[in-house]
Structure 1
Amino acid sequence: MINADIRHLALGGKTILGDCKLQLSGGWTAIVGPNGAGKSTLLKALAGLLPFEGKVELRGRELSKWSGRERARALAWLGQNEASTDELLAEEVVMLGRLPHRAWLAPPSAADVAAVERAMRQTQCWEWRARPVNQLSGGERQRVLLARALATESALLLMDEPLAHLDPPHQADWLTLVRERAAAGATVISVLHELNIALQADRLLVMDAGRTVHLGSPEDAATRDALQQVFQHRLQMIELNGQWLVLPAAAPARISNVLPLHGRRHD
């Protein structure tokens, strides 16, 4: 689905990425690493939002050779700190995700309306579809923006810190949505700081200092070792009921003492 070989990317004269390579097709990949590792910059490069030396191929064709409309249909984007849409109603924001499917100035089709409703119901924001975005909380707004990305109905979904402002139940809902999209054949790539959720992905892309360090399954010991390395071994990793979990290395003794009763530690 997507292949990348980014040799150099600089912003403001400062090198941000170098020697970033990946090849992904289907499933859910979580990009993880410490602050400043280049995670968000890499995701923007994959979306064609930043210039760089190297190439990104989507479905075997260089992304730079896709027209803007083709690219907008092929991939959906959910970024951080996006341009304000406060004057729009929630439903109007989600409808923006359908623009690549419509002729210039054409009104929404029945398919557009159905896709918007479906996406808003999936993210549980349909009930406030007629409310201005500036009347929504941060978490509610984030669910509207997620619905906009889903409404595009693309085979590639790129999301930069999609769990920002979401409470734990809605983070769990997001996880369900991602798994459903991946099961349906989509390729999902997300930048996450929530390591315990990232460890539930099909693959982890571990980054450090602007480089891709490792790509592998969370079940692979080499992946967990790479994660420990980039976080300078400041993590505790345990296996609990078949799922790997992360705690700070300085977790309180009352937590550490009970873990061996239920899980296997990997420091």
Structure 2
Amino acid sequence: MGAALEARGLRVALGGVEVLHGIDLAFAPGCWTAIVGPNGAGKSTLLKALAHLVPYQGNVTLLSRDARDWAHRERARTIAWLGQAESGAEDLLAEDVVMLGRLPHQDWLGSAGESDHEAVRWAMDETQCGAWRHRPLGSLSGGERQRVLLARALAVRSPLLLMDEPLASLDPPHQSDWLAIVRRHVARGGTAVSVLHEITMALHADRLAVLEAGRVAHHGGCDDAATHRAVERVFANRIHVQAVGEQFVALPHEGGR
């Protein structure tokens, strides 16, 4: 089976400065890949290029087709996006914000159908935000708001889920809920790609893409010792990856640099 999403020779320049330098990465269906790396490594820029949100050179292939060949609405039905620190219409009710995820499935100026309402109910149940469906987005706390925006992405019901810092403002229990949501998505055959600063949470993924200075420093399994060493190296050996039971965690390295 081919890659669900693939980048070949991907280069991105921002403000005339190249920040991604020939990225080669493939993301398999039914797999969750976490992207990690120090500040300025190009993580968010890579995710935006994969989502066709910033201009790029090179090739991005979506379900074995060049991403440039996809119609906008078709691509929007296939890739669900959760961006970092997204703003929105503060007076929109939470339920209406989630319904925005159904726009790629609706006819132009058409009204929402039963399948749209069912998708919204399911997404809000998944993220446990149904209790404030009738509250304006601007009245919600940071964590509540993030769960609504995640529900909007899930409501698309797309095979690919791309998330930039999805754990922002979420407390530990809801971070665990997010992990379960991603696991269910990939269990259904979906593909998830997330940029994470929380290295321990990233180590729950199937694979880790480690970025450094706009290049892929390593791409491998989260249980692979080579992956752990790559993570430690790009963070200047200020963290240490070790096993705790059946899971790997990232801890501060007492030796520092």
The aligned residue for residue 94 of structure 2 is: 90
1 CA distance for matches of 2:9 and 2:133? 40
8 Å contact kept, 1:6–1:52: no
The aligned residue for residue 264 of structure 1 is: none
Deviates more, 1:147-156 or 1:77-86: 77-86
How many residues are paired up?
A: 253
The aligned residue for residue 3 of structure 1 is: 6
* Structure 1: segments with no counterpart, 5+ residues: 252-267
Tell me the percent identity: 56
Counterpart code for 2:86: E
CA radius of gyration, larger in? 1
* Structure 2: segments with no counterpart, 5+ residues: none
For residues 58-207 of structure 1, the aligned pairs below 5 Å read 58-207=62-211
The aligned residue for residue 254 of structure 1 is: none
The aligned residue for residue 14 of structure 1 is: 17
DSSP-derived class of the 2:219 partner = strand
DSSP-derived class of the 1:19 partner = strand
1:183-222: per-residue Cα shift (whole Å, max 9, x none)?
1100000000001110010000000000111111111111
DSSP-derived class of the 1:51 partner = coil
User: Do structure 1's residue 217 and structure 2's residue 232 form an aligned pair?
Assistant: no
Over 6 Å off, 4+ runs: none
User: Do structure 1's residue 23 and structure 2's residue 17 form an aligned pair?
Assistant: no
8 Å contact kept, 2:10–2:60: no
8 Å contact kept, 1:6–1:17: no
Deviation at 1:121, TM superposition (A): 0.7
2 CA distance for matches of 1:189 and 1:176? 15
1 CA distance for matches of 2:135 and 2:188? 31
1:156-179: per-residue Cα shift (whole Å, max 9, x none)?
000000000000000000000000
Deviation at 1:250, TM superposition (A): 2.9
2 CA distance for matches of 1:215 and 1:237? 16
1 CA distance for matches of 2:207 and 2:95? 33
